[in-house]
Amino acid sequence: MAEPAPKRRKTTLHALGSNGNYQLGFSHTQDTSTPTKCVFHDKNITLNHVPLAEHEEVKKIITGGNHTLLLTNLGRVWSAGLNDTGQRGLVAPEELGIQNGLSAGERSDTAFSSGDVGFGGWRLLSWTGAQHLQRDTGRDHTAYVTDLAATWTASYLVLDNTSVYSCGSGQKGELGLGKDVVASTTPKRCFDLQDVEPGESTTVKQIAGCMSHAVVLSTSGKLYGWGASRKGQLGQVMRETKVSWTPRRVDLGLTDGEEWPVDQVCAGRDFTFVVGRRSQEQYFLGDASKLGIELPLPLTESTEKREHGVNIHAGWTSITVLSSNGTAQAFGKSPQGFVKNLVRARTLHNIASMAVGSEHCLAISDDGDVLASGWNEHGNCGDENDLDAVDNAQQANTIWHNKANHRTIGVAAGCATSFILTESIAVDETENG
């Protein structure tokens, strides 16, 4: 008797929320409050799951203002949404079989009448960093993309955990490519850890971007940043210059002997928040009082240890802390007069992991369900009229129920956008293609 065929895994990306520029990765620009399968254009085939090789997994999904990037563990980058300034790195439209390029008439209806599917869905980034990195540094590289981040209209690709390439646009130094460089349709090297920590074996531990600034954390615990700096989000020194056109070391303002290595960083709209390995090691770059954030935050470690310790996440105007006991708590007061249901109003329990968008958050519960809480004008937290979906105990919408053969493996959140990544074991042959 023949061996049964090995079960194949299928990874599916579902999205909901604001979609005016195809940022959810559908073939249309309608908002939706129901998790809906994203469309992937793999060469000439259109799929409603993520095209992954045998040992390939989705590593990260990040969002800009109107574009979204997905990174796999093999360094492949998929993108959806607006590319009007090259923020998706899609620099060779002819490779996509598109005559006029993605930037011309992204929003025009002629995109559909031409019968060209090229304007919606997710597409693979054809740019490969190897030759660029070798030319730029003289070093040999595999030039895998190892991490991603984005601002409103710029994207960052980290190559080999060391070099950061930027593309897209930004009026406030977001590209980090030098004074007055406000646009680059091709990814260019803006930062290299080897330049600032030469001879060290340090690598990029984290990269984070929010509306108009970006920060890189090295494994040595040093923080670097560029972009808008007027609000002190990159420290006091760069506050003076208002805009930081090139990456610089971020001075936490700690006196000698009191310095501690940064362990985690998150970036909000006008601030950066960093923590060390001990709970009292916290530093808020920016104006915490404007957000009503009182420091230090209570980053108490629980005796009931989980796999991960404390995790910090930033929304545009809030910080959410996921403690090791599974409690997610948001900090930051409602800006003046703003009465919507903000992420900061909530405390969630029994949470395994989470993602925080501009003004909402998604959380995966210990059971694998996905909860959504926060500002929901675009349906990014599900359908509010669907009362059955509201978890009253959590005061959040349950927008996805975990299934034994179709489990939740990740969430991502952006500007009123929500993404749910699921993995099924058995291939559903009835799915249309």
Partner 1 sequence: MAEEGDIYDEIEIEDMTFDQTLQIYHYPCPCGDRFEINIDDLRDGHEIAVCPSCSLQIRVIFDISDLPEKEDDHPQPVAVTV
- Site for partner 1, rule CB under 8 A: 18, 20-21, 23, 65-66, 152, 171, 211, 228, 230-231, 316-317, 335-340, 357-359, 375, 377-378, 414-417
Q: Nearest distance from residue 377's CB to partner 1, in Å?
A: 5
Q: Where are the beta strands (DSSP E) in 49-92?
A: 58-63, 67-72, 77-81
Q: Where are the beta strands (DSSP E) in 276-416?
A: 282-285, 311-314, 319-322, 328-331, 347-348, 351-356, 360-365, 370-374, 390-391, 396-400, 406-413
Distances in whole angstroms, Cα of residue 364 to Cα of each of 33, 88, 333, 375: 18, 28, 24, 18
Length of the chain in terms of residues written: 433
Nearer to partner 1, 358 or 394 (CB): 358
Q: Nearest distance from residue 104's CB to partner 1, in Å?
A: 17
Q: Nearest distance from residue 423's CB to partner 1, in Å?
A: 28
Nearer to partner 1, 66 or 184 (CB): 66
Nearer to partner 1, 299 or 372 (CB): 372
Q: Nearest distance from residue 416's CB to partner 1, in Å?
A: 4
| Closest among 122, 131, 125 to 91, alpha carbons compared | 125
- 371 vs 313: CA distance, rounded Å: 16
Nearer to partner 1, 235 or 379 (CB): 379
> What's the count of helices (H) and strands (E) in the chain, helices before strands?
4, 30
Q: Nearest distance from residue 358's CB to partner 1, in Å?
A: 3
Nearer to partner 1, 193 or 293 (CB): 293
Q: Nearest distance from residue 290's CB to partner 1, in Å?
A: 9
| Tokens describing residue 230 | 């007027």
Q: Nearest distance from residue 359's CB to partner 1, in Å?
A: 5
Nearer to partner 1, 221 or 335 (CB): 335
Nearer to partner 1, 308 or 340 (CB): 340
**Are 324 and 309 in contact, with CB atoms under 8 Å apart?**
yes
Nearer to partner 1, 75 or 121 (CB): 121
Q: Is 359 helix (H, G, I), strand (E, B) or coil?
A: coil
- 328 vs 90: CA distance, rounded Å: 37
Give backbone dihedrals phi and psi of 394, rounded to 5 degrees, phi first: -95, -15
Nearer to partner 1, 151 or 218 (CB): 151
- 308 vs 114: CA distance, rounded Å: 50
- 412 vs 410: CA distance, rounded Å: 7
Q: Nearest distance from residue 357's CB to partner 1, in Å?
A: 8
**Are 315 and 291 in contact, with CB atoms under 8 Å apart?**
no
Give backbone dihedrals phi and psi of 223, rounded to 5 degrees, phi first: -115, 135
Q: Nearest distance from residue 24's CB to partner 1, in Å?
A: 10
Q: Running DSSP on this structure, what letter comes out for residue 131?
A: H
Q: Nearest distance from residue 209's CB to partner 1, in Å?
A: 13
Please name the residue ranges forming H helices in 215-339.
Answer: 236-241
Q: Is 14 helix (H, G, I), strand (E, B) or coil?
A: strand
| Tokens describing residue 301 | 């470690």
Nearer to partner 1, 120 or 326 (CB): 120
